[in-house]
Amino acid sequence: MSYLKLENVKKVYNNKVTAVDNFNLEIEKGEFIAFLGPSGCGKTTTLRMIAGLESVTHGDITLEGKSIVGLTPRERGISMIFQSYAVWPHMTVYENVAYALKLRKLKKADIDEVVQDVAKTTDIVQYLNRYPSQLSGGQRQRVAVARAIAVKPKLFLMDEPLSNLDAKLRVSMRTDLKRIHQNVKSTSIFVTHDQSEALSLADRIVVMNHGVIEQIGTANEIYHESETMFIAKFIGSPASNFFVVNVILEDGEVYLVHDDFKVQFNGQEKDVLIKNYLDKSVVLSIRPENFTVNKGGFIKAKAKIIEPQGSHIIINTDIGGEEIKIVSDLLELESGENILLGFNDKVLLFDSETEKRIK
């Protein structure tokens, strides 16, 4: 039995605006799950339904095998962290962390033991006697995490908790959150629109778009085996490149034909192409790092703009009038140089009409 289960969950506002539709997800105890998607995709609404801050229009949510839909937020045994930290400014860090434990009428010695323990886990021992105004944004967020895990919740929810931090601090705090999760082994759901956060933190990622789930999978599955063109566009920086190609059969071999190239295709989708897509167009998706540059390629192009990134460069070119971005280790390449491109077999094919992966 799954620890947390969302079954056919739907949220409709004012009887006409569907924010979340047919949401199905099973989470095991101790898993770290990320809800990832653009603004307005329904990820925060889903999190708030789990927390009890939003009502469920249709469907059920069960925790440890029991429905929590009819329970108040307090009765669900869930802790939630918001992007605004929400720590009490008039209390010291110690008092912030201890507050919920005092409400549970724990003994003073037991409260102190828990506070000291979670303070060590979240690396805030040295700040226990300070007030939030004396802390940085990252330190205040660690206080919020400490307060949330102090009550040993059944479920730990985080709604874009790093979005108010600067870029460098976000990366540091990301590592802290992963370390804390590994130590505490809490069942956690993390909402973000930042793919780097989702890819680096989560055991599994739920990619959402327009209120529905596009794909559920590990970081590698989401990135390398994107189920839809939306995911291939949304995940990756730079994103995947797309080419509309025609599928033809020539001398018993399958070829993908573009105005600027023709390449033989021997991938595992070959039989499906022969059966369903001969003489039809499909979309070829190639990640920027899966191109080869000046290594016996077959596409002539020009490096229009070079973006140095230190360990690599991003080459901006165009093929057939489409802007293409390529990641390369040819650090000495300069803008304006002619280049010869190829690509490896790590490509994806999508149906032109449904935009779903052909497999």
Pick from 22, 11, 5, 19: which is nearest to 55 by CA? 11
Amino acid (1-letter code) at residue 31: E
Phi-psi region of 228 (alpha: psi -120 to 50; beta: other; left: phi over 0): beta
Bridge pairing between strands 66-67 and 17-27: unpaired
Q: Tens digits of per-residue pLDDT, 288-322?
A: 999 999 998 999 999 999 999 999 999 999 998 88
Whole-number pLDDT of residue 163: 85
Pick from 203, 172, 180, 235: which is nearest to 37 by CA? 235
For the chain, the average pLDDT equals: 94
Amino acid (1-letter code) at residue 206: V
37-70: string of b/e by CB count within 10 Å (b at 16+)?
A: beeebbbbbbbbbbbbebebbebebbbeeeebee
Domain ranges of the chain: 4-234, 241-351
Whole-number pLDDT of residue 105: 87
**Preceding omega of 238 cis (within 30 degrees of 0):** yes
179-203: string of b/e by CB count within 10 Å (b at 16+)?
A: ebbeebebbbbbbbbbbebbbebbe
pLDDT < 50 positions in the chain: none
Whole-number pLDDT of residue 129: 95
Question: Residue 309: exposed, middle, or buried by beta-carbon count in 10 A (0-12, 13-18, 19+)?
Answer: exposed
Backbone angles phi, psi at 230, to 5 degrees: -55, -45
* Contact status, residue 258 vs residue 245, Cβ threshold 8 Å: yes
* Contact status, residue 211 vs residue 19, Cβ threshold 8 Å: yes
Cα–Cα distance list, 356 to 151, 231, 257, 278 (Å): 43, 10, 20, 17
Q: Tens digits of per-residue pLDDT, 347-356?
A: 999 999 999 9
Bridge pairing between strands 322-328 and 281-286: unpaired
Q: Tens digits of per-residue pLDDT, 85-124?
A: 778 899 999 999 999 899 888 899 999 999 999 999 998 9
Pick from 83, 88, 103, 191: which is nearest to 151 by CA? 103
CATH class entry, domain 241-351: mainly beta
The model's pTM: 0.91
CATH superfamily of 4-234: P-loop containing nucleotide triphosphate hydrolases (3.40.50.300)
Whole-number pLDDT of residue 37: 96
Whole-number pLDDT of residue 135: 92
d(CA 181, CA 185) in angstroms, rounded, equals 5
* Contact status, residue 37 vs residue 212, Cβ threshold 8 Å: no
The token duo for 143 is: 């206080």
Whole-number pLDDT of residue 184: 87
* Contact status, residue 342 vs residue 296, Cβ threshold 8 Å: yes
Whole-number pLDDT of residue 165: 82
Cα–Cα distance list, 280 to 256, 276, 285 (Å): 10, 9, 16
CA angle in degrees (0–180, nearest 5) for 169-173-176: 150
